[in-house]
């Protein structure tokens, strides 16, 4: 059990880390952080858990799942908090994931004003961008945002217009 001088309460940790106490309990259930118990049964966290919770927050901010964070933390001795060298090593391993997320967001940005390949055909413009539900052949969901190559939009629009134009 951590003593009162070298540990902090769950409410103090939550306030200093800027997270809810329920988040701390959840992190503890998932093995991301740990605590001891006071004689009255209250959680007491070693002071270095503050840096560990900050590490979790930073890792979540870059889009990592808790399972990824738990794996990273499991590579460290249980009583130690990630230091600068640990963060640099872990960050190098996460770069491919971050780059993939950036590419996905760029596709989202670039496709906001065009078809996302959802296969809905519920909007008039979808007939122009996705004639005959071409994207549905690739699977469910927003196929072009998922990374499937979009067909030539202009060629599809021209083909759709020529099929609906009455002969002269």
Place of tokens 């270095």: 48
Distance (Å, rounded) from C-alpha 168 to C-alpha 165?
9
Distance (Å, rounded) from C-alpha 108 to C-alpha 3?
51
Q: Could you give the residue ranges of the DSSP H alpha helices within 18-164?
A: 21-29, 49-61, 66-74, 84-111, 124-129, 153-164
What tokens were used for 14? 């939550």
Chain-wide mean pLDDT for the chain?
77
Statement: residue 146 has pLDDT above 60: yes
Q: Range(s) for CATH 1.10.1660.10 in the chain? A: 7-110
Residue 114: predicted pLDDT: 63
Averaged pLDDT, 140-154:
66
7-110 CATH choice from 1.10.1660.10, 1.25.40.10, 3.90.550.10, 3.30.2130.10: 1.10.1660.10
**pTM of model > 0.85:** no
Statement: residue 18 has pLDDT above 50: yes
Distance (Å, rounded) from C-alpha 58 to C-alpha 137?
39
Please report, to the nearest 10 degrees, the dihedral formed by the alpha carbons of residues 139, 141, 147, 149 taken in order: 60
Contact 37, 44 (CB under 8 A): yes
Averaged pLDDT, 129-156:
65
Distance (Å, rounded) from C-alpha 136 to C-alpha 142?
9
């Amino acid at each position: 059990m951590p003593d009162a001088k070298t540990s902090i309460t769950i409410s103090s940790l939550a306030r200093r880390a800027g997270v809810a106490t329920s988040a701390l309990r959840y992190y503890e259930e998932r093995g991301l952080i740990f605590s001891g118990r006071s004689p009255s049964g209250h959680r007491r966290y070693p002071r270095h858990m503050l840096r560990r919770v900050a590490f979790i927050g930073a890792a979540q901010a870059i889009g990592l799942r808790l399972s990824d964070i738990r794996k990273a933390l499991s590579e460290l001795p249980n009583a130690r908090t990630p230091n600068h060298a640990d963060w640099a090593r872990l960050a190098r391993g996460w770069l491919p994931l971050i780059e993939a997320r950036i590419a996905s967001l760029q596709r989202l940005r670039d496709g906001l004003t065009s078809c996302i390949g959802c296969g809905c055909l519920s909007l008039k413009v979808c007939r122009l961008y996705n004639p005959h539900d071409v994207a549905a052949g690739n699977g469910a969901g927003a196929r072009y945002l998922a990374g499937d190559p979009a067909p030539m939009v202009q060629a599809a629009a021209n083909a759709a217009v020529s099929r609906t134009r009455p002969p002269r």
